[in-house]
Amino acid sequence: MCSQFELNTRPDDLTRCFDLDGVPDRLIQGEIRPTNYTICVGPDGSFMNRWGLKVDWDSKPLINARAETLNKKRTFLPLLNSRCLVPASAYFEWRREGKVRFKNRITIPNLRLFAFAGLTNGENVTLVTCQPVPSIAQIHSRMPVILSSDDQKTWIDAERDYHDVAHLVLPRLDLELTADEEAPSSPRQGDLFD
């Protein structure tokens, strides 16, 4: 489960990568955590949303949505045709070894900017997660869906029903990720929500 990601890029790189006319003035960069605002890209351009859907059955925001059950959960059914991209330069995952957790910064080699598959309700966004690709499977059993540049426009195409794009949330066998692991600085380190 992804509970922290990073966006470190220049605004002009964002506009070029996602074919935008501009980016919001309050663009937030650095490490992004649940309830932080983050930039999203939809069919009509860029916008800011808080990361995490508010739900009445849990006090914590719903930051991730499992790809395998998206079309079965009442929470996500109304959002399946409100798809967006969430730009990132890295994401973080914690590998457990007994009671110790090791923070991993996960990136795509030679690619400074990529996009997660997201769902939005207009104010909040959640990231779609899937099974991990082999290169990081030893770290965690889930990962955010990272869309190829060819699939990004297809994912946010408002003319396409979710059933036409559902195949995009499967793990990409062509995706190679790299993890840089930090030594733990304290006995307790890890996800924001345990």
Written as tens digits, the pLDDT of the chain (194 aa) is 578 999 999 899 999 999 998 888 788 889 999 999 999 999 999 999 999 999 988 899 999 999 999 999 999 999 999 999 999 999 999 998 888 989 999 999 989 999 999 999 999 999 999 999 999 999 999 999 999 999 999 999 999 999 999 999 998 888 999 999 998 765 554 555 54
Name residue, tokens 């996500």. 76
d(C-alpha 70, C-alpha 134), whole Å: 23
Question: Cα separation of 157 and 96, whole Å?
Answer: 38
Quote the DSSP letter at residue 81.
T
